Each structure stands twice: as C-alpha cells, then as structure tokens.
Amino acid sequence: MKQIETFQMLADETRLRALALMQAHGELCVCELVAALDLPQPKISRHMTALRNTELLTARRDAQWVFYRLNPDLPDWQKQVINAAMIGIQTEPVLKQDATRLKNMDNRPARCAAS
C-alpha cells in the first residue's frame, strides 16, 4: 500500500511544488511554504500532514515554527521516484515563481534564513 500512497501524494500539484522546494532548500517551515506557494496556511498544513502521514516528510517543532523536510530514511525506491518527479517538473514556470517568492520572503525564521 505504501507504493500507492506515494504516487497519490505525488499526484497533487501543491505537494509536488512543496517537495521541490524542500528538495532544493532542505528544511522549510509552514510559513515559508505559505509565502513561496502563495497559498493559505490551512491548505499548506493539510498537505504537509498528508505527506507526513505517508512518511515522505518528517516534521519538527521549534517554538512556534513547524519545520518539514524530506524523510532521510525513505527507501531507495521512494527517493528515486521523488527524484524522477522533480526532474520531470523542473522546467515548470511555477517552480521558478515559488523559488523567487521564497527568496524574497521577509521575516524568515532564523533557522531557515541561511538556507
């Protein structure tokens, strides 16, 4: 079932965009994803919960921030699938817009500001 869940998670544009940002920038907090993806916090949190529940992401809390990153303990096949998906979407214009919004974000959490 884990295989099917992985592909279900990758079938959503918002989740793909978030994964692309995390793959490029490492650990990101919800507020950074909200700014980068230009979507409301409840929507981002819902998608991050789904990705965490399928163990594609790990999360940690630091004060008021919740930080997410790709799960470093994923099996090789899942890493390969995610990498292939990221290669497949790398030329999508929306990803460049997401990266620009993240770069231009004011008041990024100190933990991620150097990312």
Does residue 114 have a pLDDT over 50? Answer: no
Within-domain flag for 61: yes
Question: Smallest Cα–Cα separation from 82: which of 94, 98, 69, 93?
Answer: 69
Domain that holds residue 17: 2-70+77-98
Within-domain flag for 36: yes
Within-domain flag for 106: no
For residue range 25-80, list pLDDT tens digits in order: 999 999 999 999 999 999 999 999 999 999 999 999 988 889 999 999 999 999 99
Which residue intervals of the chain are DSSP H helices?
A: 2-10, 13-25, 30-37, 41-53, 76-89, 93-103, 110-113
CATH of residue 15: 1.10.10.10
For residue range 71-109, list pLDDT tens digits in order: 999 999 999 999 999 999 999 999 999 999 999 999 888
Within-domain flag for 103: no
For residue range 7-30, list pLDDT tens digits in order: 999 999 999 999 999 999 999 999
Number of domains in the chain: 1
